[in-house]
Amino acid sequence: MRLTGVLFFPVTPFAADGTVDEKTLATHIEQGVAAGPGGVFVACGTGEFHSLEPGEYERVVRIAVEVTGGRVPVYAGAGGPVALAARFARAAERAGADGLLLLPPYLVTFPPEGLVRYVEQVTAATRLPLIVYQRGNAVFTPETAARIAALPGVTGFKDGTGDLDLMQRIVLTVRSTVGGDFQFFNGMPTAEMTVPAYRAVGVDLYSSAVFCFAPEVSLAFHRAVGSGDTATAERLLAEFFQPLVALRDTVPGYAISLIKAAVRLRGLDVGGVRPPLVDPSEDHLAELQKIIDSGLGLV
C-alpha cells in the first residue's frame, strides 16, 4: 500500500480528569479526514504515544480506524521496550490498523546492529507493514538501513534526525538494494520547514503536524511544492512556518504542545498535554494565535 499526499498526525485529546477524551478524538479525526489527507498516523509523536498505556492505545487506534472508515490508510505508533513494542503492534492489528510507525526505544543507547534486531523482533510479532522512524537514539547506517528495508514487513523509512548527508546515503543504498515500492518520509518536527531540502535527496513524503489545526495551510503548502510553485511555498515558509518554528524552539516539547494548543485555538477542546510535556504559557498562546491568523490569511 503506497502512501501519497499529506500525512495527518492527530493529537490525542485528554479530558479534564486526564483520561483520553474519545468523543473529541473521533471529532478531531473526522474533521482531519474530511479535509483530505493521504493517511492518518494515530498515537505517534504528535499523538503523545509516549504517554499512553496499552489499553488506552488500543482504544485510540480503534477509534481512528472506525472514524476513518477505510477512506485512507490508518497507521499507529508503536515503540518503547521491545516486548511492549510487540504488544502495541498486536494491539494495533486487533484494532484494525493498516500499518505501524515504529518509534525509537527509550532511555538506552545502542549500536545500529541492536536496532536491526529491535526492528526484526517487532516485525516478527505482527502482520502489519512497518515504517521505521530514525530519530533521537535510533540512528542507522546505510548498511543497517538496507538490512531492515529488506525485511518482508518493513515498507518504509522515516527520518527525524535532519542529517541529510546520512539520509542521502541511506536513500541511495536502500534503493539499490530493495528498489521499487519502498517509501521514504521526512519526519522532522514541523516537517514542512525542511521539505525542499528533503526533496533534494529524494524524499518527497512528509508528516504534517500542522495539518491538525490548519489543514488549509498544510494542503496549500503541499500543492505549492507539488506543482513547483516555489513562490507560494517560500511565502508560506517565511510567513507562517518560520515564525511557528521559532516559537516551537523556545521550549522543549513545544513541537507537540503548540500543535495541541493550536487545535484548541481553532475551536476543538482537545485538552492539554500529559507530563513531562508542558502546555504553552499565555504569552505564547497569544503569539500562536497571531501565527495561525497570519497563516490562514495567506491561503
Ligand X SMILES: O=C([O-])C(=O)C[C@H](O)[C@@H](O)C(=O)[O-]
Residue 77 CB, shortest distance to ligand X, in Å, is 6
Kindly state whether residue 12 participates in binding ligand X, applying the rule CB under 6 A. Answer: no
209 lines the binding site for ligand X (CB under 6 A)? yes
- CB-nearer residue toward ligand X: 46 or 144: 46
The annotation status of 194 as a binding-site residue, yes or no, is no
Nearest one of 282, 284, 265 to 214, comparing CA atoms: 265
Q: Considering only residues 132 through 151, tell me which ones interact with ligand X, judged by CB under 6 A.
A: none
**Shortest Å distance, C-beta 108 to ligand X:** 20
Least distance between ligand X and beta carbon 17 (Å): 25
H/E element, 154? strand 154-159
Q: Which residue is nearest to ligand X (CB)?
A: 45
Q: Is 290 a catalytic residue?
A: no
For residue 43, give the C-alpha cell: 498515537
Which lies closer to ligand X via its Cβ, residue 45 or residue 153?
A: 45
Q: Compare residues 177 and 183 and give the one whose CB is closer to ligand X.
A: 183
Q: Which residues contact 78 (CB under 8 A, 6 or more apart)?
A: 49, 85, 88, 89, 92, 100, 101, 102, 103, 122
- 224, 233 contact by CB (below 8 A): yes
Footprint (CB under 6 A) of ligand X, residues 241-260: 255
- Segment contacting ligand X by CB under 6 A, of 55-63, 170-178, 182-190, 275-283: 182-190
Task: Give 241's DSSP letter.
Answer: I
Q: Any bridge partners for residue 134, and if so which?
A: 159
Residue 261 lies near ligand X (rule: CB under 6 A): no
Of 153, 159, 156, 160, nearest in space to 122 by CA: 153
Closest contact distance (angstroms) between CB of 135 and ligand X is 8
Residue selected from 32, 104, 129, 187 as contacting ligand X according to rule CB under 6 A? 187
Give the burial string for 144-170 (b: 16+ CB within 10 Å, else e): bbbbbbebebbbbbbbbbbebebbbbb
Residue 207, interface with ligand X (CB under 6 A)? yes
C-alpha to C-alpha distance for 275 and 232, rounded to whole angstroms: 37
Half-sphere exposure of 135 (CA within 13 A, CB side): 22
Give the active site residue among 133, 198, 206, 254: 133
Is residue 128 part of the contact set for ligand X (CB under 6 A)?
no
CB neighbours of residue 223 within 10 Å: 14
Residues 44-103 that bind ligand X (CB under 6 A): 44-46
Minimum distance, C-beta of residue 176 to ligand X, in the bound complex (Å): 26
Nearest to 215 by CA among 3, 1, 6, 4: 6
- Annotated binding site for pyruvate, which residues? 46
- Annotated binding site, which residues? 46
Give the active site residues.
133, 158
By CB under 6 A, name the binding residues for ligand X.
9, 44-46, 187-191, 207-209, 255
